C-alpha cells in the first residue's frame, strides 16, 4: 500500500488549479446585492477564478461605503452604485459595463429583501416595496442584459429564488409571493430564450445565516395584529426556531456562492432550470421539482414544443 506525500498532493492540486484557470474562459459577470451574504461571497469567488466581476450595491458613498471599498480592493472586482428600483440606474450600469468590456456574459440577480409577519398587515405600499426590489429589480436587470446576450448568441442569467418559491410558508406570505413570481419569470424565460443561446436558471436556497435577517420588511398596518390573538405570536416563534436551527446545523452561505460558480462553469444548454441549495429541508423541494418537471415535459411535448426540452 502506498501513502501519498502531502507535498506531492499539494503540488498536484496547485497544477490542477493552474490548468483549470488557463483553459477557463474568463467571463464578464454582473452580480446584484454584493454588500453582504450570497452576493459578497459570489463576487469574491468568481473574481478569484479570474472572472471580471461588476458588483452592484446601493449607497456606496453612504452606509455601504466601507463595504464598497473593501470589495473594490479585490482583484477583478469593480463596484457599481446601482438602485434596482430605478430603470435609469440599471441601464446606466449596463452601459458602463458594455463600454468597458464590450460584452456581458453572466447576470446574477441576487439582491432582495425579506418580508415576514401577518400578511393582512401589509398595505399596498408595503407590498410594492417588496415587489419593486424582489421582482421588478431582477426584471429591470434582465431587460437591460438580454438584448446584448441575444446578439452575442450566448449568455447566462441566474436568478436567486428560494425554497419559498415552491412552497408558501405561513407568515412570510408576501415574501413567498415575490419568490413565486421569480419562479414563473425564470421558468418561462428558460424555454423562451434557450434556443437563442441564453440560459436563464435559478437557485433555490433554504434558510442561511446572512444579513438579510437584519433587514426584514414588516406590514405597517399594525392595528390589525390584535385581531389575530395568539396567532400573532407565531412569526416570532418561527424566528426563534430558525435561530436555533442556525445554531445547531450551521448552514454555510458559501454553498450558494459555490452553486453560482458551478452554474457558470457548466456548459451552455446543460444547466438545470432549478438548483436546490438547502442542507436542512432541501429534499422536499428537490422531490417537488422532479415531479413537476416530469409532468411539465409531457405537457410541452403534447403542445408540440418538445424541441425546447433538448
Catalytic residues: 175
CB atoms within 10 A of CB 88: 9
CA distance 10 to 226: 62
Length of the chain: 310
The C-alpha cell that represents 209 in the structure block = 445565516
Contact call for residues 1 and 27 (beta carbons, < 8 A): no
Q: From CA 296, how far away is CA 17, in angstroms rounded?
A: 39
Q: Dihedral (C-alpha) 186, 189, 194, 197: value to the nearest 10 degrees?
A: -90
Which residue blocks in the chain are alpha helix, DSSP H?
6-23, 37-48, 65-72, 87-101, 124-131, 137-152, 173-193, 234-249, 254-265, 282-302
Amino acid at each position: 500500500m502506498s501513502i501519498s506525500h502531502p507535498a506531492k498532493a499539494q503540488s498536484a492540486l496547485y497544477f490542477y488549479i493552474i490548468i483549470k484557470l488557463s483553459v477557463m474562459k474568463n467571463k464578464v459577470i454582473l452580480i446584484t446585492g454584493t454588500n453582504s451574504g450570497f452576493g459578497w461571497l459570489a463576487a469574491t469567488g468568481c473574481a478569484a477564478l479570474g472572472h471580471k466581476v461588476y458588483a452592484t450595491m446601493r449607497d456606496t458613498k453612504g452606509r455601504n461605503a466601507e463595504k464598497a471599498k473593501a470589495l473594490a480592493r479585490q482583484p477583478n472586482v469593480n463596484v457599481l452604485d446601482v438602485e434596482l428600483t430605478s430603470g435609469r440606474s440599471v441601464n446606466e450600469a449596463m452601459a458602463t459595463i458594455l463600454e468597458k468590456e464590450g460584452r456581458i456574459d453572466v447576470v446574477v440577480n441576487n439582491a432582495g429583501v425579506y418580508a415576514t409577519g401577518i400578511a393582512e398587515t401589509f398595505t399596498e405600499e408595503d407590498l410594492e416595496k417588496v415587489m419593486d426590489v424582489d421582482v421588478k429589480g431582477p426584471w429591470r436587470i434582465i431587460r437591460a442584459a438580454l438584448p446584448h446576450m441575444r446578439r452575442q448568441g450566448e449568455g447566462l442569467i441566474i436568478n436567486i429564488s428560494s425554497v419559498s418559491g415552491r412552497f408558501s410558508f405561513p407568515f412570510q406570505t408576501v415574501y413567498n409571493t415575490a419568490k413565486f413570481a421569480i419562479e414563473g419569470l425564470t421558468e418561462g424565460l428558460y424555454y423562451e430564450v434557450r434556443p437563442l443561446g441564453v440560459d436563464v436558471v435559478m437557485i433555490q436556497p433554504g434558510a442561511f445565516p446572512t444579513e438579510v435577517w437584519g433587514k426584514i420588511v414588516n406590514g405597517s398596518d399594525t392595528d390589525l395584529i390584535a385581531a389575530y390573538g395568539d396567532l400573532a405570536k407565531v412569526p416570532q416563534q418561527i424566528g426563534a426556531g430558525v435561530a436555533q436551527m442556525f445554531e445547531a446545523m450551521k448552514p454555510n452561505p458559501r454553498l450558494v456562492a459555490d452553486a453560482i460558480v458551478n452554474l457558470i462553469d457548466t456548459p451552455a444548454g446543460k444547466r438545470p432550470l432549478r438548483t436546490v441549495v438547502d442542507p436542512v429541508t432541501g429534499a422536499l423541494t428537490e422531490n417537488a421539482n422532479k415531479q413537476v418537471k416530469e409532468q411539465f415535459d409531457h405537457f410541452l411535448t403534447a403542445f408540440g414544443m418538445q424541441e425546447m426540452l433538448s
